Chain A
Amino acid sequence: MKGYYGQYGGQFVAETLIPALDELEEAFKAFKKNKAAKEELNRYLKDYAGRPTPLYLAKNLSNQLNINIYLKREDLLHSGAHKINNTLGQIILAKFMGKKRIIAETGAGQHGVATATAAALMGLECVIYMGEKDAERQRPNLLRMKLLGAEVRIVKKGSRTLKSAINEALRDWVKNIRTTHYLIGSVVGPYPFPQIVAYFQSVIGREARKQILSKQKSLPDAVIACVGGGSNAIGIFSGFLKDKTVKLYGVEAGGEGLELGKHSAALTKGRPGIMHGALSYLLQDDDGQVSLVHSISAGLDYPGVGPVHSFLKDSGRVKYGVCFDDEALEAFKMLSQLEGIIPALESSHALGYLIKNKEDFARKTVIVNLSGRGDKDLPILEGIYV
């Protein structure tokens, strides 16, 4: 069925949004066939964002863990994370559709910063919704968005995190449907958003596959990425999905433990449900009310997940596991001190999973998607390390 990955996906939104989703789908199809638009995007990805990102052999970490570890350095991109791949793509798409106003939601702030960056570049009006709790714990990104000229609307109701920010962005979109493009930041939301975001992030996987073949003359044994909504994960996985010998691991936030409310591991502990436009695994109570969630990483603090990941879980192609807050912090510290790279707390979950399962990966070649850098997490880490 159109817009579905197996049984997951769909367009569970207000009827008002359906023509806009159809318009978006048509524009996206035209965009993919439009040579000039694709060239424009590739030019910005290369000269502005800094692609291709390196695939770095982390020797010190590799020696420590007895694993051949490569890091896909999305943290080196302009604005500090893989999010810029998607925002540049969607901004050019929005221009293509003649939209003058961009709205977005943000959790950790990386998507908000990437959206504000791309909107500033293209001269579009930009409004970012951010939960009050996230605005407090990701203050540097809040300031960056404002400096980039975006209006940041702080959401003071609901969970005051990403979930509430998305609710408000959806409300804004319904009101301003004719002028506004909603620039969704992960592979979540109603179709065609999961497909659009996956398309713009697939550059990570294409590069990584080419790079590892060039460096090693063989494919890796495994690829590991963190999963909140799942955009960086699907981006890198897409380069290896057809390579059956490459094991793929998605790592969710185990938070403080696997009791409902203490984590945000939707694939690990959730069940199928409908939220924010799609049917996917969802953390919810017995009555279908969406649960409050927790992760030390604001970017993973979300009760749902992209529908494509739900499909990949059920099909068995990707194995999904968890990394707890303390394990992510340990990984964060280890990479910072062994390699001189301060990773985002999101990416630290992928590393933490590798570290805690190091015996399973011994002597194997593993690529970890380092989706972003950790500067934005300093307010969270200040209380722990200083």
Chain B
Amino acid sequence: MCRLGIYLVCNYPDREGFLRAVELCNRYGVDFLEIGLPFSDPTADGDVIEKASMEVLKRYRMADFLDSTKQARRIFNGRLYIMTYANIVFSYGIDRFAGDFGFIDGLILADVPYRESNRFKKPLSKKGIGFVYFATPESRQEELERLKRDANDFIYFVSIRGTTGGEFRLDDETKRKIEFLKGAKHKVILGFGIRNKQDIENACRYADGVVIGTAAVEAMRGDFETFLLSLRG
């Protein structure tokens, strides 16, 4: 069964709109949520998510994001992850972050590769928060082997060389890498560039699930319910 994850920018377009989207994700059986905590310099994000993040930062602070994420946890029954950048957690204090956000299932840091993850991973694991590793089309065999050994509940496979919101495609080499990672205790989830039902079907021929970011953030401003329904068909 292919899992569907949705990425939402926290408090975008506003707190009410964000929580409504969380509620809809719960109602329509989304398997997991990634909540993006905005950062001023989001180098991994494409234009749509970057713009949404900048809008949110004009109106909300970290305390608001914590509050809204707690609320999202109460609403949403599936697994819940935070996706953000290293400095947001580092500046907050990694131990303090692990304490205050102890209710989430995992943390995804776009600018923390495997080799820099230890300082984050240890304090988080004490609170039962998994650290999510990335695999990419550029990952080498020894890195894939390490990931397969150390991964928590899922490996985030960045499907394309680029930022979020690019065009989804998988070359043969990438398909082989996904295949290699599958079959262990964790799931392999494909992200970056997946926008619609067709992309999901294509991705799920290879991976255990997908996460949709840019298209979801675009839909948060419009008819989010119709968007969700369009994904399941």
Contacts and interface: CB of A to CB of B under 8 A. Distances in A.
Interface of A: 10-20, 157-158, 163, 167, 170-171, 174-178, 272-277, 279, 282, 284, 286-290
Contacts of A284: 87, 91
A16 B158 contact: yes
A273 B161 contact: no
Contacts of A289: 39-40, 57
Contacts of B61: 287
Nearest to A21: B113
B203 interface: no
Contacts of B88: 287-288
A274 B163 contact: no
A158 B86 contact: no
B50 A157 contact: yes
Contacts of A282: 87
B162 to A, nearest CB: 4
A312 B128 CA distance: 37
23 contacts: A10-B116, A11-B116, A13-B111, A14-B44, A14-B113, A14-B136, A15-B134, A15-B139, A16-B136, A16-B138, A16-B161, A18-B138, A163-B41, A167-B41, A167-B42, A174-B162, A176-B161, A273-B91, A277-B111, A288-B62, A288-B88, A288-B91, A289-B57
Contacts of B43: 14, 167, 170-171, 276
B59 interface: no
A12 B90 CA distance: 12
Contact of B138 (A10, A20, A163, A288): A20
Contact of B90 (A16, A274, A286): A274
Contact of A275 (B41, B114, B137, B139): B41
Contacts of B110: 14
Interface size range on B against A:
35 or more
Contact of B91 (A11, A178, A287): A287
B38 to A, nearest CB: 8
B158 A14 contact: yes
A290 B40 contact: yes
Contacts of A287: 61-62, 88, 91-92
Nearest to B157: A15
Contact of B87 (A10, A13, A290): A290
Contacts of B114: 15, 18
Contacts, number: 107
B140 interface: yes
Contacts of B75: none
B112 interface: yes
Contact of B113 (A15, A158, A175, A177): A15
A13 B112 CA distance: 6
Nearest to A168: B43
B205 interface: no
A274 B61 CA distance: 19
B74 interface: no
Contacts of B89: 288
Contact of A288 (B42, B44, B92): B92
Interface string B164-208: 001000000000000000000000000000000000000000000
Contacts of B85: 274
B6 interface: no
Given A12-B112, A275-B87, 4 more contacts: A18-B115, A19-B139, A286-B91, A288-B91
A175 B163 CA distance: 7
Contacts of B113: 11-15, 17-18
A47 B92 CA distance: 51
Contacts of A163: 41
B29 to A, nearest CB: 30
B158 A273 contact: no
A158 B54 CA distance: 9
Contact of A273 (B42, B62, B90, B139): B90
A290 B111 CA distance: 15
A287 B136 CA distance: 30
A20 B161 CA distance: 12
Contacts of B44: 14, 174
List 3 tightest A-B contacts by C-beta distance, closest first.
A288-B91, A15-B134, A274-B86
A19 B158 CA distance: 14
B41 A158 contact: yes
B135 interface: yes
Contacts of A15: 113-114, 133-136, 138-139, 158
A279 B94 CA distance: 14
A174 B86 CA distance: 18
B111 A14 contact: yes
Contacts of A274: 85-87, 90, 111
A380 B61 CA distance: 35
B161 A177 contact: yes
Contact of B86 (A12, A170, A176, A286): A12
A229 B123 CA distance: 31
B111 A19 contact: no
Nearest to B113: A15
A178 B113 CA distance: 19
